[in-house]
Amino acid sequence: MPRTIADGPSMEDTLHNGDNLLVDKISPRIGNLKRFDIIVFYPYGKDIDEYYVKRIIGMPGETIQILGSDIYINGEILEEDYGKDPITQAGIAAEPITLADDEYFVMGDNREVSQDSRAIGPVLAENINGKEMIRIWPLNKFGLVD
């Protein structure tokens, strides 16, 4: 499994700057991604060597909207507790966004500082490089990432 490093505060409190993680590159290839998985992806395509680490919120075919601090999936409030702080910026999700069959809506857990689908738009499946599996550093936090 390849290794990646969390860079910046966008996934706090789940991941912290400098956390080293092992990445499963097979799950995205076989369509084995689910809501709340943490993924590594290329926001601007694989030709640009910049990757983000975010959590899947919306799945292909779903309609996403953020009203106030609530995330709606197909008109129903999403029950989740990954966000570090309440959402104050809905970005493009202030209006409903219907994802195509090859798109995901992702957000960082630190909602106030995360550059995610609210700003960059949905993530194409072909730009997903892997799914975070195991934190290997720091040692005192070694284990599966949730």
Q: Hey, which residues are catalytic here?
A: 10, 54
Q: Residue 71 in contact with residue 87, Cβ under 8 Å?
A: yes
Could you give the angle at the alpha carbon of 18 between the alpha carbons of 84 and 70, nearest 5°? 20
Q: How far apart are CA 115 and CA 104, in angstroms?
A: 15
Token pair listed for 40: 């590594």
Q: Which residues contact 71 (CB under 8 A, 6 or more apart)?
A: 57, 64, 65, 77, 78, 80, 87, 93, 107
Pairing of strands 38-41, 20-24: unpaired
Q: Which backbone phi and psi does 73 adopt, to 5 degrees?
A: -115, 120
